[in-house]
Structure 1
Amino acid sequence: MTQDLPTPTLETERFTMRPLVPADAEALFPTLSDPDHAQFLIQAPFESVEALGDWLCDPDWNGRSWSGIDRSTGELVGRIVAVPSGEGTFEIGYGTVKHRHKQGVAVECVRRLLAYLFEEEGIHRAIAGTDPRNVASNRVLEKLGFRREAHYVESCRSHLGWCDEYYWGLLAREWRAAKPAN
């Protein structure tokens, strides 16, 4: 389905979001191989750059993936994704490299992705799922105007076992009405 949809380069004030390429695995590996960071991921920490690259660039995955690049340094600072989830709906996801946490990377990049999806592609709804214990990720969604719609108990199996999941949603009309601020 998304093979027909573009993964355009998107600009924010501080970042260029360009399509992810296999070489990006090297920059993401220190974060996605870290057990503390991976505690909120379904996937266990990666043991090699090659394994991470294979996962990031899986040809059977039906989503689109961007790498956030700091325009002032050229450093890869995060990964942002959009995955179709029913008619007019995309699930979004994001991750920031660990040494750039708490710098607003995810909020700025996901805000730009949402603007693109709602305003240029005309989607109806964006959704996201998070681990309730992941305070930082939940705060990103709150800042962007998402509403928490559900708390599913032990609904998601990760490498650490059964986990709860928050389910978040944002409608196009809510996006247009709020135009979330920084």
Structure 2
Amino acid sequence: MREVPVLRTARFTLRAMRRSDTAALFPTLSDEAQCRYLTRPAFESEEELWGWLADPEWNGRTWIAEDAAGKVAGRFVAYPAHEDGIEEIGYITCADRQGAGVARECTAALVRHLIEGEGKRKLIAEADMRNSASIRLLERLGFSREALFREHETTHAGLCDVAIYGLLATDPLPED
């Protein structure tokens, strides 16, 4: 298992995932509308969700963002890409916290940690082209669209166009 160091922002602590986080993530990840851009449909039970979150075959890392009161605000991930020095990132904000800057603040902290703290040379993120909120976030964080794969992936929502966004360590990093 790869190390998940604690990261801090002005409003959140990003820490390793615990089994108890499933209950906080389930209302979002069991909602079809919230899962429309995932590669799989909404989860039907907390057990199914935990099996996905804690899949022992997945070689990525999960950070859970929690506020000062200990309330879970989102899940942020990083996992090795196609070669050393490159990580792919992902994120989902709990539905009741969307629109409050959680994704921007926590993803910016994760980006800075991966590049400055771990020495990654590049970060990438994949976005369903219909997910305009995620695309706007990546662009605000300084990511550039590097590729567009038309009709690239078939998911529970149908055939999807997928964009790949990238941020080099030499690019300006996002601020707090």
Q: TM-score range by the shorter chain?
A: over 0.9
> Structure 1, residues 110-152: CA drift from partner, whole Å, max 9, x if none?
1111111101110110000001111111111011100011111
Tell me which of 105, 113, 117 is aligned to 1:108: 105
Distance 1:10 1:158 in 2: 33
How many angstroms does 1:99 deviate by? Answer: 1.1
Gaps of 5+ in 1: none
Residue correspondence of structure 1 range 1-182 to structure 2 within 5 A? 3=1, 5-71=2-68, 73-85=69-81, 86-174=83-171, 178-181=172-175
Give the structure with the larger helix fraction.
Answer: 1
SS in 2 for 1:138: helix
Distance 2:173 2:41 in 1: 36
Query: Considering only aligned residues, what root-mean-square deviation do their CA atoms show, in Å?
Result: 1.0
The count of corresponding residues between Structure 1 and Structure 2 is 175
How many angstroms does 1:157 deviate by? Answer: 2.0
Distance 2:96 2:142 in 1: 26
Give TM-score, length-normalised by structure 1: 0.93
Distance 2:99 2:152 in 1: 28
CA contact (8 A) 2:114 2:120 kept: yes
Identity %: 46
SS in 2 for 1:83: strand
Distance 1:15 1:112 in 2: 10
Distance 1:169 1:16 in 2: 25
SS in 1 for 2:111: helix
CA contact (8 A) 2:108 2:175 kept: no
Distance 2:144 2:61 in 1: 23
- Stretch of structure 1 that moved more, 42-51 or 159-168: 159-168
The runs of at least 4 aligned residues of structure 1 exceeding 4 Å deviation read none
Distance 1:173 1:47 in 2: 42
